[in-house]
Amino acid sequence: MGTRYFSAILMSTLLAMIPLIHSELHARNEAGTNNGPNLITFDKPEHAGRWARVNDSVMGGVSTSTIYLEDDFGVFSGNLSLENNGGFASVRRLWTPTTKALNNESKPAKVKIKVLGDGQYYQLRFRTSKYMDGVSYAAGFQSKEGEMTEHEFELNDFVAVWRGRTVRDAEKLAWDDIAQVGIMITQKQKGPFTLKVASIALSN
């Protein structure tokens, strides 16, 4: 059995998992309540339940992750493995922010993520589709071990990517087109990780 046979089996597995993960995202979205269209926090038990894990296991990797509540933080933790050509772990949830109350040409809307870090590099990601696969828009930030930091991004800070590659002809990102938000660790940062997320907010 050669490489072509293995690739076919892997692709069949991935296609089978897509509707399952898509269904899980919707189920988790129904499990919690909104903080408001432009704010995500973790001060209620149901808030962590809105997030779903999507790791490199969908491509044969063995990285692990989880997200749970601790002292008003959403704790994104796990272990990043490079085995089996893996190397990423992530969590994501459905989110549809709106700029209706933020229309101010002199002060454009920005997204801010407030975290208690572990010294590793992470990405904040958006998707304009509610499905598992497809183009993501990513902006990276460096956390500081044991320190609370806030990272602020404008739309132009997000780069369209697909499976680790830049998508140069992707449609321009707009706040009102966002359907999912996610947090990812990659960049071959092998080993355990823990990022405590206090909030994600869209504001001027």
Please report, as a single letter, which amino acid is at residue 79: N
Q: Looking at residue 106, what is its pLDDT?
A: 66
Q: Delineate the domains of the chain, giving CATH numbers in brackets.
A: 3-203 (2.60.120.430)
Q: What is the pLDDT of residues 123-180, one digit of tens each?
A: 999 999 998 888 999 999 999 999 999 999 999 999 999 988 999 999 999 999 999 9
Quick one: which H or E segment has residue 74?
strand 73-80
Could you tell me if 188 and 164 are in contact, meaning their C-beta atoms sit under 8 angstroms apart? no
pLDDT for the residue 25: 53
What CA–CA distance (Å, rounded) separates 67 from 195? 10
C-alpha span between 194 and 151 (Å, rounded):
17
* Size (the chain), residues: 204
- The residue ranges of the chain whose pLDDT is under 70 are 1-35, 103-106
Closest CA relative to residue 109, chosen from 175, 173, 182, 160: 175
CA distances from 127 to 73, 130, 173, 199 (A): 23, 7, 9, 18
pTM for the full model? Answer: 0.82
C-alpha span between 70 and 196 (Å, rounded): 8
- Could you give the CA distance from residue 122 to residue 119 in angstroms, rounded to a whole number? 10
pLDDT of residue 59: 87
